[in-house]
Amino acid sequence: MQDEPIDKEDILKKLSEIKKLDYNYADGRILGSMCTEAHPFAKEVYCKFLDTNLGDPGLFKGTKYLEDEVIKSIGNLLSLDKAYGNIVTGGTEANLMAIRAARNHARKYKGIVDGEIIVPISAHFSFKKAADMLNLKIVEADLDDNYRIDVESVKDKITDKTVAIVAIAGTTELGLIDPIEEISRIAHENNIYFHVDAAFGGFSIPFLRQAGYDLPVFDFSLEGVCSITVDPHKMGLAPIPAGGIIFRKEEYLQVMAVDSPYLTVKTQSTIVGTRIGAASAATYAIMCYFGKKGYSQLACEVMDNTYLLKEGLENLGYDVVCEPELNILAFNHPEIETHEFAEKLEKLGWKVSVAKCPIAIRVVLMNHIKKSHIKELLEDLEKIY
């Protein structure tokens, strides 16, 4: 830091220069991100709540009310009458809270100390962080031929140390929905905590089902499901950071509560202390503004775009890895090795990402990718082919 203050104008000028290093969603070139530009109304609301701190909810009763309302609404979308949970920084923190609840619950009621969690190979890397921080062992369940969690493999991996089973509704790499109903039954029969990671799918599957898409049930209507992660900052169009963790029962929050002596509430179950309130307010606002109708429209639009890209790719002769369930498409060039193919696309200005299971180019068709961008992408792909 320099000694003398600098004029605001000069600082802003420098910042906008530096910001040019960033890619913009609006350019339609970011193809591998699960986040997108937040809705302008959500951003407007976010700014109004910047100083609120949900770590001390007694001081921010209004903002706490908004968080509770958001949790209630998301819970309702997921077939839960009375939901418990928090708006947190993202799917990573939400998953960490779920696994912490499962571990503490198993420790308290079953005396398990060296716990294990069963997660599919397709699980997000946040579970590796959770396992590391919580001193748990990760046991990976295999995938079936369609890249979904293999039910038999889950059964085989259950031991008397299993504290949680995880399945995914909208995998990070392929957007696929695991057979949640079957896993829920197995978890319930074995009295094991079952967490569903719908960080990506949570804000689209319920709306696509409403619109008539034939997608499997993944929510609290299945009695084995104990918690679900849903990220408003992905398909919910809320500003980053906004993740959601929803629990079926209050006891899952209680088993991780610690005393919080100097605050307006006696205990705290969240991981962070001072905690963002703006995310809850912005999520509340955007959910009101869109309604089920608005989200349904959004979810259907991005699905249309997904099919548009799929058709274009197949017409050109590219290999599409699997039939998309959500707005993620993975594909390969029939001859060029995937990383080399990705480099060619990067050189043409496309920011793509490469899936590892299976290795393929992965495009997440978020709201910022419009039909015109898909057309341009297909033109470039035609040149490469």
Ligand X SMILES: *Cc1c(COP(=O)(O)O)cnc(C)c1O
Residues of this chain that bind ligand X (CB under 6 A) = 34, 90-92, 95, 124, 126, 168, 172, 197, 199-200, 231, 243
Q: Which is nearer to ligand X, 344 or 351 (CB)?
A: 351
Q: Shortest Cβ distance from residue 170 to ligand X (Å)?
A: 6
Q: Shortest Cβ distance from residue 186 to ligand X (Å)?
A: 20
The rounded distance, in Å, linking the Cα atoms of 246 and 71 is 7
User: Which residue has its beta carbon closest to ligand X?
Assistant: 91
Positive or negative, the Cα torsion across 283, 287, 288, 294? positive
Q: Which is nearer to ligand X, 63 or 171 (CB)?
A: 171
The rounded distance, in Å, linking the Cα atoms of 279 and 244 is 10
Q: Which is nearer to ligand X, 115 or 170 (CB)?
A: 170
Q: Contact 188/194 with Cβ under 8 angstroms?
A: yes
The 10 Å CB-count burial string (b at 16+, else e) for 176-211 is bbbbbebbbbbbeeeebbbbbbbbbbbbbbbbbbeb
Positive or negative, the Cα torsion across 92, 98, 101, 106? negative
Q: Shortest Cβ distance from residue 239 to ligand X (Å)?
A: 12
138, amino acid identity? I
DSSP 50-115: TT-BTTSTTT-HHHHHHHHHHHHHHHHHTT-SS-EEEEESSHHHHHHHHHHHHHHHHHHHH---S-
Q: Shortest Cβ distance from residue 182 to ligand X (Å)?
A: 19
Q: Shortest Cβ distance from residue 262 to ligand X (Å)?
A: 29
The encoded tokens of residue 360 equal 């393929």
Q: Which is nearer to ligand X, 238 or 381 (CB)?
A: 238
Q: Which is nearer to ligand X, 34 or 180 (CB)?
A: 34
Q: Which is nearer to ligand X, 124 or 373 (CB)?
A: 124
Q: Shortest Cβ distance from residue 383 to ligand X (Å)?
A: 31
